[in-house]
Chains A and B, each alone.
Chain A
Amino acid sequence: MATQAQRTDPLDSDMLGPIQTETMTLNMGPQHPSTHGVLRVVLELDGETVLSCKPVIGYLHTGIEKNMEEKTYNKALPMTDRMDYLAPMSNNLGFVLAVEKLLDMEVPRRCKYLRVLLAEMTRLNSHLVWLGTHALDLGAMTVFLYCFREREQLLKIFEKVSGVRMMTSYFRVGGVAREPYPTFYEDCRNFLEPFSERVDEYEELLTNNPIYLRRAEGVCAMTAEQAYALGITGPLLRACGVAYDIRKNEPYSGYEEFDFEIPVGERGDILDRYLVRVAEMRESRRIAMQALEGMPEGPLMADNPKVVPPPKEQLAHDMEALIHHFKIFTEGYSVPEGEVYQAIESPRGELGYYMISDGSPDPYKVKVRAPSFANLHALGEITRGGLMGDVVAAIGSIDIVLGEIDR
């Protein structure tokens, strides 16, 4: 029997049949380029309106946490790079700080400054990739090329300092892998000094661009209460107007000595997330410049021969150093029993390592609290009731890295 709506429809005829009113399920990914990796999203659509949006994960699960239980702390460290591959040094930092907390160990001030400098440059690296791909998702191609131009410079510095462009593993328990190369500070300065003009360039392309604003302003908004309930942290939470930043609220690695602001948004929409991250890039540059200017003198590695390998030149004439070296690289070092949780502010939010030690040289349990894993919750919430075309913008604005979601 025909309903009222069908009878009054001018297009309704025997040729067209009754109006389709059931919803449609659409599968997006896992190979879709705008899902930033191998995320699969199952959308339930009513026409163009999203009724529900469910992320399906697990395509990159490699059992990193389980793998770490079988390895010594030093051997587990390189796996942290593989999780958030856009911010490897942040992952290294969280891991080494957690182990140092278990060991109850302090690193010298110079080491803290060097770690801060590199961690902030990592944040720039990560935000540059985010900005480029997010703009590309929304059709602004030029920004991508600009961002990758700067990222290339950063990767060159990382390569020179650690030997690898992306999987750096440069931070080690008790210090860093080696002294930075002679012109390292000069290279950093050459990159950082003109960087704020570069950010101006990106902003010129997007901030007042009416096409971008139409896609971003008021779209996929979220309130602070929603964000708290879902456990969302990082730039997403700050875009909702909450000035929570672990670097300020629970300082680690000497962040309390640096002067910087926490940018916050008001409406919690895509535009605010963009503005917060762009402002964060300027703040990161500021912190990195302060670390560069105030780089203290003194030792780089902690004075703990059981954990920190001795300098290579000592091995030739110092028996004790040779023994320590051998012990560290064959059986590792024992870590006192206990449980710790160390959280740091990664470019995506709260990155935490929950570690249990049973007193042996291998961690008993490692749990990585990946910011993207929690932030992915937001996707279902912010896209509900919106348009299908905004799902791509929403995924981009959350800034996920599937490597750390699936681990």
Chain B
Amino acid sequence: MSEEEREQVEPEEPIEKKDPDLVLLQAKIGGGFLGATEHRGQISAQIAPGALLDAARFLRDERGYKLLSFVCGVDCLELPVSYRFKVTYSLLNPERSRRLRLEAPCADDLEPAMPSVCGIWPGARLHESEAYDLLGITFEGHPELERILTPEGFEGHPHRKDFDISAEPVAFTFRDTPAGKPKAAE
């Protein structure tokens, strides 16, 4: 296709003006709606953290997104975006077999936080605990935020891109542990 031909192609209507759910969501939360993208037929909407709970309640009660499929924290350290962490919510409307992804960027890069959606979908409890455990994102209003996958006393958040996975001290014998260190040769 030459340069001229390409210009003649009608610019496609952006997804946030075409999709009824997104149009209504925009009308509901206004400035909290940061944009939407479509990739391989899947829609994701970017939502400001402050508008997340309103958007979630609206989508569940009025648009039939009754089921929260998963919550996933993403460390965007190596992606070309302005924020460090985002949280993805995958919603399902079982009656219409429609899926919608919400993405909310965390405002603070050092201490990422997000309002908890446990009050809207109680099933988010374990998913949010997982994101807290693996990425260190705090969910405000979560009934029982705790480490669920890593062992007790574990330090750091392993799914962060800057988590050091190169080496870990391994004690092969009791003598290698601090308690079993032999005294200096007498």
Contact = CB atoms under 8 A, between A and B. Distances in A.
Interface of A: 56-58, 61, 63, 65-66, 70, 101-102, 104, 228-233, 242, 244, 249-250, 338-341, 343, 350, 352, 354, 356, 358, 364-365, 367, 369, 373-374, 376-377, 406-407
Nearest to A339: B39
A228 B94 contact: yes
Given A231-B69, A358-B78, A58 B39 contact: no
6 contacts: A66-B159, A70-B165, A101-B40, A228-B94, A230-B123, A354-B72
Nearest to B70: A369
B78 A229 contact: no
B70 A354 contact: yes
A232 B70 contact: no
B128 to A, nearest CB: 12
A377 B126 contact: yes
A262 to B, nearest CB: 12
A232 to B, nearest CB: 7
A377 B123 contact: yes
Interface string B157-171: 011000001000000
Contact of B94 (A56, A244, A341): A244
A61 B97 CA distance: 32
B70 A339 contact: no
Nearest to B96: A249
B176 to A, nearest CB: 23
Given A61-B149, A340-B39, A374-B123, A367 B70 contact: yes
B70 A229 contact: no
Nearest to B123: A231
Contacts of A66: 158-159, 165
A364 B79 contact: yes
B168 to A, nearest CB: 12
B121 A231 contact: yes
Most A-side CB within 10 Å, residue of B68, B121, B123, B127:
B123
Nearest to A104: B40
A338 B40 contact: yes
Given A58-B151, A228-B94, A374 B79 contact: no
Given A66-B159, A231-B121, A242-B94, A352 B69 contact: yes
Nearest to A376: B126
Given A231-B67, A358-B79, 10 more contacts: A58-B151, A66-B165, A229-B121, A233-B67, A244-B94, A338-B40, A352-B90, A356-B79, A374-B69, A374-B127
Nearest to B66: A228
B82 interface: no
Given A231-B121, A354-B88, A377-B125, A339 B97 contact: no
A216 to B, nearest CB: 25
Given A228-B94, A365-B74, A102 B40 contact: yes
A166 B124 CA distance: 32
Most A-side CB within 10 Å, residue of B67, B97, B147:
B67
Interface in B49-64: none
A234 B125 CA distance: 19
Contacts of A343: 69, 99
A26 to B, nearest CB: 20
Contacts of B75: 365
B149 to A, nearest CB: 4
Contact of B122 (A56, A63, A230, A356): A230
A373 B126 contact: yes
Contacts of B42: 339-341
B84 interface: no
Most B-side CB within 10 Å, residue of A57, A338, A339, A352:
A339
B44 interface: yes
A227 to B, nearest CB: 9
A354 B159 contact: no
B149 A369 contact: no
Nearest to A407: B149
A228 B93 CA distance: 10
A406 B159 CA distance: 14
A244 B79 CA distance: 36
A94 B147 CA distance: 27
A119 B70 CA distance: 23
Interface string B112-131: 00000000011111110000
Given A231-B123, A354-B72, A358-B79, A340 B158 contact: no
A406 B149 contact: yes
B74 A356 contact: yes
Nearest to B44: A339
A352 B40 contact: no
